[in-house]
Amino acid sequence: MSTLLQSSFISSSSISPITPRFARISIRNAARCNNAVVSLNSANGIPYRSTELSVTGSTSIPSFLVAPNTPIHDLVNRNRLRIFSGTANPALAQEIACYMGLDLGKIKIKRFADGEIYVQLQESVRGCDVFLVQPTCPPANENLMELLVMIDACRRASAKNITAVIPYFGYARADRKTQGRESIAAKLVANLITEAGANRVLACDLHSGQSMGYFDIPVDHVYGQPVILDYLASKTICSDDLVVVSPDVGGVARARAFAKKLSDAPLAIVDKRRHGHNVAEVMNLIGDVKGKVAVMVDDMIDTAGTIAKGAALLHQEGAREVYACTTHAVFSPPAIERLSSGLFQEVIITNTIPVSEKNYFPQLTVLSVANLLGETIWRVHDDCSVSIEHLSC
């Protein structure tokens, strides 16, 4: 039943987590996307090519200003919306641009011999809505600093609006003080992004909802659940056999929302005691999983200690199969060994964090959130609602 991917890049045309209510991309761009090649060089993008976009409404431009065979809407919108990618996840940024029928902006990013980061935009962004795609995944400090320098470069280049698109928000787990004399790093990072010059943040599946309150600028928070739910629905598992499992008490609200959308499946909870960072001990199970297909839901998998011990407990309690579903695949060692040990029928993740080829294993399935983020970017740009009620998921 597992789905094995042969590469770390999934075409946005193969998996469609959302269906926009109006077409954004022309047939020509759709055909081009199917043959898209991701560029990973220092130019960070593909050379500019003329792009046709489907737009509504009429626009009047004097004929002497329009070059022959140049679509009018290209002249109007080409400089209003720009997407740039950092070096953290260029493949996802390319998929997002492809879904939107745009090309990635040209940007030069390099590191000096002493490790300092240099960023230069290779095209004008004056008066533009700029979206910077850069998850702060490992190495978190490097990618965070790169994002800050990118924001500063756009601000000094007179961009009208700067939106930091952060598919994975690092330091999100440091969102409160659990002991004395601890820092709240999530608030610190939020302040850094704001002070660097960002006007808005677009994040995916934050570790906790209160992290949005740490920002003094608007935050659009989208969820990867629709992408995973759509994939699970395609597996035609009998709804009577399903049970959704939260790997800890803190994830009950997330698992309950997931179970409600998954044929209103019953809920089970793994009770655990944590003795230290990245160290978890499973104690007992609340709920019945005997003879069931258990779907474990979490926002991220780091070392996989919590979810692996939970899966072992589910098998002990009589679960027939165990699926692991998560948005962010951090995969710190020894996560791969734990996930590929045979406890899981399938490990379903998204591409908010790039997975290196050496970390692939037979049970791993990677889904793309490019369409979800691309549609959200369009709605932010058009000042439309991005709430779940207005996204056809």
Q: Once rounded to an integer, what is the mean pLDDT over residues 132-142?
A: 97
Examine residue 20 and state whether it is found in any structural domain, yes or no. Answer: no
**Does residue 34 have a pLDDT over 60?**
no
Per-residue tokens: 177: 């003080």
- 31 and 178 together in one domain: yes
Q: Which of 27-31, 145-149, 210-214, 353-357 has the lowest mean pLDDT?
A: 27-31
Examine residue 14 and state whether it is found in any structural domain, yes or no. Answer: no
Examine residue 387 and state whether it is found in any structural domain, yes or no. Answer: no
Per-residue tokens: 156: 């000094």
Report the alpha-carbon distance of residue 107 to residue 88 in Å, rounded: 14
**Contact assessment for residue 159 and residue 125, using Cβ atoms and an 8 Å cutoff:** yes
- Mean pLDDT, rounded, of the chain: 82
Examine residue 172 and state whether it is found in any structural domain, yes or no. Answer: yes
Examine residue 88 and state whether it is found in any structural domain, yes or no. Answer: yes
- 55 and 187 together in one domain: yes
Which structural domain range is residue 323 located in? Answer: 226-368
- 245 and 316 together in one domain: yes
Q: What is the pLDDT of residue 299?
A: 95
**Contact assessment for residue 338 and residue 304, using Cβ atoms and an 8 Å cutoff:** yes
Q: What is the pLDDT of residue 387?
A: 77
Q: Once rounded to an integer, what is the mean pLDDT over residues 372-382?
A: 95
- 211 and 151 together in one domain: yes
**Could you report the per-residue pLDDT of 52-109, keeping only the tens digit for each?**
333 333 334 444 344 444 454 444 454 589 999 999 999 999 999 999 999 999 999 9
Residue 131: exposure state from Cβ atoms within 10 A (0-12, 13-18, ≥19): buried
Q: How far is C-alpha 200 from the chain's CA centre?
A: 16
- 113 and 142 together in one domain: yes
- 197 and 264 together in one domain: no
- 151 and 288 together in one domain: no
**Does residue 156 have a pLDDT over 50?**
yes
- 172 and 232 together in one domain: no
Report the alpha-carbon distance of residue 113 to residue 117 in Å, rounded: 10
Q: What is the pLDDT of residue 187?
A: 95
The model's confidence at residue 141, banded by pLDDT at 50, 70 and 90, is very high
In the chain, the number of structural domains is 2
**Contact assessment for residue 161 and residue 113, using Cβ atoms and an 8 Å cutoff:** no
**Does residue 232 have a pLDDT over 70?**
yes
How far apart, in Å, are the Cα atoms of 169 and each of 136, 146, 152, 196, 282?
A: 6, 14, 19, 16, 27
- 207 and 353 together in one domain: no
This prediction has a pTM of: 0.79
Q: What is the pLDDT of residue 1?
A: 43
The model's confidence at residue 46, banded by pLDDT at 50, 70 and 90, is very low
Examine residue 353 and state whether it is found in any structural domain, yes or no. Answer: yes
**Could you tell me the CATH number of the domain that includes residue 216?**
3.40.50.2020
- Over pLDDT 70: what percentage of the chain? 76
Examine residue 391 and state whether it is found in any structural domain, yes or no. Answer: no
The model's confidence at residue 327, banded by pLDDT at 50, 70 and 90, is very high
Cα angle 238, 241, 246 (rounded to 5 degrees) comes to 120
- 42 and 88 together in one domain: yes
Q: Which of 248-257, 340-349, 357-366 has the lowest mean pLDDT?
A: 248-257
Q: What is the pLDDT of residue 352?
A: 98
Report the alpha-carbon distance of residue 286 to residue 87 in Å, rounded: 43
Examine residue 269 and state whether it is found in any structural domain, yes or no. Answer: yes
